[in-house]
């Protein structure tokens, strides 16, 4: 029994660690990874969770920054729901034709999922703009009609066609504890696509975001970059669905950006801070999840903890933000009253 316990502890060095011991162990392991003493195949579950969630945070923060500045977060919410229909379609077709990945931990053909996400992203955006322009509906009303309809179809198909597969739970809520080291590849490919796209077209995204009229005069297509942004949101959601599901990813897209927006008015700094905040909260969430399990024997959803930490961090930032926080407003109000 002692040998078995020792082997288990060796296989995952984070077992039994509290919150602070977790960080000490993680930084030791991180240094070993950087020095090449630990290969990717030797990564344990906690480390895979951290690296996947950090990759998702970077992707989500980059697309989320421009979504928030364009006042399009509602459309991102719609995409996170309507992608479910595409995933269910891929699952049903793949099950009937045997196109699933051979790797048991994935359960889905990634290329098919990416194609489905792109299609649903374009369809959602197209239908929304179609209703807005042809039916003269307000954009938020169009989004509400489109995403509720497509999401309802996805839920119906999940219920009717995939009862024995538990696809609904994994896709909607995610399962960060079941992540595999191979999931890192997809997450960081998508993160790289997002970072490179916004780096190459930073000027175009900036102009179409802040001054669409000027963009049209300069010959920059506002519609093209809207569709490109929606495609990137769809890719981000697909990269995140195994870890946090297609619904909770919305918290990663909006939360860190909203926190960073309270701290800076610089676009470049907003992008950097959003990525850093999301990444730090992800690491803290994994550490807290391990602490609760090791010390108190409480097993909670790591992704759920991270989302809760995002909300708590946002509320805390509202209070202490140096320029527009609650305390700053009170100090300013007190100063004005004395003068």
Q: Above 80 in pLDDT, residue 228?
A: yes
Interval 2-41: pLDDT, tens: 443 344 444 788 888 999 999 999 999 999 988 888 887 7
pLDDT tens, position by position, 136-186: 777 777 877 887 888 788 778 767 765 555 555 555 566 777 778 888 888
2 vs 211 pLDDT, higher one = 211
**Is 238 part of any domain?**
yes
Confidence (pLDDT) at 98? 54
Q: Within a domain: residue 134?
A: yes
Token output for 172? 């909607």
Number of domains in the chain: 1
Stated pTM of the model: 0.83
Cβ(115)–Cβ(93) below 8 Å = no
Residue 42 lies in a domain: no
What does the pLDDT look like over 76-113, one tens digit per residue? 777 777 777 777 777 777 666 654 444 444 445 666 76
Helix or strand or coil: residue 25?
helix
Instruction: Tell me whether residue 314 is in a domain.
Output: yes
Domain assignment of residue 298, yes or no: yes
Say what the pLDDT of residue 29 is. 92
pLDDT of residue 6: 40
Domain of 120, CATH number, reads 1.10.3470.10
Environment class of 248 (CB within 10 Å of its CB; exposed 0-12, middle 13-18, buried 19+): buried
Range list of H helices, 201-299: 202-210, 212-217, 222-261, 267-296
Q: Quote the pLDDT of residue 275.
A: 95
35 in a structural domain: no
- Residue 33 resides in a domain: no
| pLDDT for 167 | 53
Are 119 and 133 contacting, i.e. CB atoms less than 8 angstroms apart? no
**According to the model, what pLDDT value does residue 309 have?**
95
Range of the domain at 216: 18-26+47-334
Taking residues 119-137, what's their average pLDDT? 80
- Average pLDDT of the chain, as a whole number: 81
* pLDDT for res 94: 65
Provide the sign of the torsion angle of the four alpha carbons 156, 157, 160, 164, taken in this order: negative
Q: Looking at the domain assignment, is residue 105 inside a domain?
A: yes
Averaged over 278-299, what is the pLDDT?
A: 92
């Amino acid at each position: 029994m002692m040998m078995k316990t020792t082997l288990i502890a060796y296989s995952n060095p984070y077992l039994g660690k509290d919150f602070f011991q977790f960080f000490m162990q993680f930084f030791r392991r991180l240094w070993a990874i950087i020095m090449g003493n630990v290969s990717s195949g030797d990564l344990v579950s906690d480390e895979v969770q951290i690296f996947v969630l950090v990759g998702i945070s970077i992707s989500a923060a980059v697309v989320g920054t421009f979504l928030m500045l364009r006042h399009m977060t509602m459309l991102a919410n719609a995409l996170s729901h309507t992608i479910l229909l595409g995933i269910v379609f891929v699952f049903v077709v793949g099950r009937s034709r045997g196109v699933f990945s051979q790797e048991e931990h994935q359960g889905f053909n990634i290329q098919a999922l990416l194609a489905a996400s792109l299609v649903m992203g374009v369809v959602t955006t197209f239908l929304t703009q179609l209703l807005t322009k042809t039916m003269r509906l307000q954009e938020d009303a169009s989004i509400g009609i489109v995403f509720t309809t497509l999401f309802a179809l996805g839920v119906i198909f999940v219920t009717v066609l995939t009862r024995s597969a538990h696809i609904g739970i994994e896709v909607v809520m995610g399962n960060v504890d079941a992540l595999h080291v191979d999931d890192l590849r997809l997450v960081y490919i998508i993160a790289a696509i997002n970072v490179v796209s916004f780096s190459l077209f930073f000027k175009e995204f900036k102009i179409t975001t802040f001054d669409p009229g000027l963009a049209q005069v300069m010959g920059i297509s506002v519609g093209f970059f809207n569709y490109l942004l929606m495609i990137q949101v769809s890719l981000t959601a697909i990269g995140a669905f195994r870890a946090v599901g297609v619904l909770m990813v919305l918290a990663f897209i909006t939360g860190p950006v909203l926190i960073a927006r309270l701290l800076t008015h610089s676009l470049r700094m907003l992008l950097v801070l959003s990525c850093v905040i999301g990444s730090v909260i992800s690491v803290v969430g994994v550490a807290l999840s391990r602490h609760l399990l090791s010390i108190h024997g409480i097993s909670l959803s790591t992704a759920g903890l991270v989302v809760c930490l995002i909300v708590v961090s946002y509320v805390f930032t509202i209070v202490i933000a140096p320029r527009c926080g609650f305390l700053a407003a009170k100090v300013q109000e007190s100063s004005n009253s004395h003068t």
